[in-house]
A and B are shown apart, each in its own frame.
Chain A
């Protein structure tokens, strides 16, 4: 589990992992409805993370706990 931050960027959502200073844009988010938001996040660097689905946050950025599903290739 790692703390991450999701932010509204100029072109869609961006993903930020403070521990590793890693910034990437989110290519797809599994659930994107007002009631259910989250699930698997696919990043443009090849990595993927999972956040527990929650109600869509009223304001971004938001800090969340995320589980790493697949690491970005280094």
Chain B
């Protein structure tokens, strides 16, 4: 259903890459592709999870961002120490909008920044003593915390500090888990390795701590894995699952606690939303505890209905009945929303460039509103993500992996989408070009977008962005110059 043919898309890629030197061109060609729905395996058409090209503007993060920012950060009743210089923790503090319930600074610590604030002397003489002192102080000042994680920044790995030994000693001293995480920023090519390291740390230091303890379980226990409660997403998901008759034991990790994580091995089914960042722990639990995991998608009514039925299939008839009743109940609300917004949004084109799961998961939600996704790409996906994306996208649409600032701008100029869905770094570039942009990382300070309630907000947000009269009055500077020249010539 794409507006472009395969040849046109390929020509566009070649044209955009024209400005690069030969070596760079060769490298970047592999990361850009026209989608081919007949291909089963993405690696035949697109390469991913490779080191970014030096000299281009990439939008990727680092392993520390993946571990502290994404996986560990939202666990609200733990204190996450950014171990190293002050900047990494401070500039990423509370930026991801992981909502939680609790009294910050007393029993929850989500938006606070704890750092060991490395100085020159700590680099020269090592920072282990400082870390031990910091843990002692944390325990004194915030006695209601339930555990500490030590998130390493680059210097820790470079100077070879032994945070594991400090953590082990501190665990005994304060009688609470202290977890060293080796997520130094220089590891790996993107934040993706940070997710993996964080998952492995949870596996080794948290997950099995309550094995063998008695636990009152029900046949309907599930865990939400890989939902970071951005703008309240996990809550919008949770109410649906509870209405289906399931008991949500744990939320990983938005609005989650360390106790929930320790209880997760007791659940019957793991529901995996962000496959990229938490498939590791799901695989581990499947092998060790025999808990199956299932990927689901709670963006847009079509996908929600599909996912809910798939989840219900794991359980008995009472869950299936409740699920159907829920779907029927919300269908009325969804029909009203689609009736209101579809005529306003029908046929609009969107380009996406995000990370994690959203470049493929939100496609269904846009399609429910009659919009079309003409290009999509991930910051840090692997081949298995593109395997899943190829089926969601139309034939000959544009796919871009780890796209550079220049390429994305050029693609947007040529494809002329009605809106772009990306992050804060792209937002003002495209808005100055006269194209509305919604941040799909933080939901542009709105949300939730998951679940039925989230779809209502999603539809409204897309409408207010696209129908904003500002963009009609905004002539980009380069077009203004052209207009003046035309006038002068006349």
Mark A residues whose CB is within 8 Å of B.
5, 7, 16, 18, 21-23, 44-45, 59, 61-63, 72, 74
> Contact between A61 and B287 (Cβ–Cβ < 8 Å)?
yes
User: What residues on A are CB-neighbors of B387 within 8 Å?
Assistant: 23
A5 near B283: Cβ-Cβ < 8 Å? yes
Q: Are B192 and A21 in contact (CB under 8 A)?
A: yes
B contact patch SS: helix
Instruction: Tell me if B384 is interfacial: C-beta within 8 Å of chain A.
Output: yes
Contacts of A63 in B (CB 8 A): 287
B49 close to A (CB within 8 Å): yes
Asked if B280 contacts A7 (CB within 8 A), the reply is no
CB pair A45 B286 closer than 8 Å: no
The docked-state distance in angstroms from the alpha carbon of A23 to that of B286 is 16
In the complex the two chains form, is A21's CB within 8 Å of B382's CB? yes
- In the complex, the answer to whether A5 meets B49 with C-beta atoms within 8 Å is no
Known A16-B283, A44-B41, A45-B43; contact A21-B290, beta-carbon cutoff 8 A: no
Pairs of residues from A and B, 9 with the lowest C-beta to C-beta distance, nearest first? A23-B384, A61-B287, A21-B382, A61-B286, A63-B287, A45-B43, A44-B41, A5-B283, A59-B290
Query: Does B52 count as interface, using CB distance less than 8 angstroms?
Result: no
Residues from chain A with Cβ under 8 Å of B283 in the complex: 5, 7, 16, 61
The docked-state distance in angstroms from the alpha carbon of A12 to that of B312 is 23
B188 (CB) vs chain A CBs: closest residue:
A21
Known contacts A44-B40, A62-B287, then 5 further A-B pairs from the complex at CB < 8 Å, ordered by chain A residue:
A21-B49, A22-B382, A23-B382, A44-B41, A45-B43
Which residues of the partner chain A approach B28 to less than 8 Å between Cβ atoms?
Answer: none
Do B383 and A23 touch (CB < 8 A)?
A: yes
Q: Decide if B196 is an interface residue (CB 8 Å cutoff).
A: yes
Residue contact A45 to B287, C-beta cutoff 8 Å = no
- Contact A18-B41, Cβ < 8 Å, known A23-B384, A62-B287, A63-B287: no
When chains A and B are docked, how far (Å) is the Cα of A15 from the Cα of B108?
Answer: 40
B183 to chain A, nearest CB (A): 16
Pairwise interchain contact A45-B41, C-beta atoms closer than 8 A: yes
Which residues in B have their C-beta under 8 angstroms from that of A18? 196, 280
Residues in A whose Cβ lies below 8 Å from that of B280: 18
| Residues in chain B near residue A59, CB distance under 8 A | 290
Bound state CA distance, A44 and B40, in angstroms?
Answer: 10
A45 to B41, CA, bound (A): 8
> In whole angstroms, what is the CA distance A22 to B43 when docked?
11
Q: Digit string of B270-285 for contact with A (CB within 8 Å is 1, else 0)?
A: 0000000000100100
B384: which A residues are within 8 A, CB to CB?
23
How many whole Å from B226's CB to the nearest CB in chain A? 15
User: In the complex, what distance in Å separates the CA atom of A7 from the CA atom of B384?
Assistant: 15
- CB pair B41–A21 under 8 Å, yes or no, is no
Sample of 21 A–B contacts (CB below 8 Å): A5-B283, A5-B287, A7-B283, A7-B286, A21-B192, A21-B196, A21-B382, A22-B382, A22-B383, A23-B382, A23-B383, A23-B384, A44-B40, A45-B41, A59-B290, A61-B283, A61-B286, A62-B287, A63-B287, A72-B43, A74-B47
Q: Provide the residues of chain A in CB contact with B290, threshold 8 Å.
A: 59
- Per the bound structure, the CA–CA distance linking A59 and B192 in Å amounts to 29
B50: nearest chain-A partner, CB-CB: A74
B window 371-392: CB within 8 A of A: 382-384, 387
**B residues 266-318 touching A (CB-CB < 8 Å):** 280, 283, 286-287, 290
CA distance A21 to B189 in the complex (A): 13
Distance A72 CA – B384 CA, assembled complex (angstroms): 15
In whole angstroms, how far apart are the Cα atoms of A40 and B384 in the complex? 23
- Write the nearest CB–CB distance from A28 to chain B, whole angstroms: 16
Docked complex Cα distance between A62 and B280 (Å): 14
Chain B nearest CB: distance from A59 CB in Å?
Answer: 6
For B192, the closest partner residue in chain A by CB is A21
B21-51 to A contact mask, C-beta < 8 Å, 1/0: 0000000000000000000110100010100
* Complex contacts, B41 vs chain A, CB 8 Å: 44-45
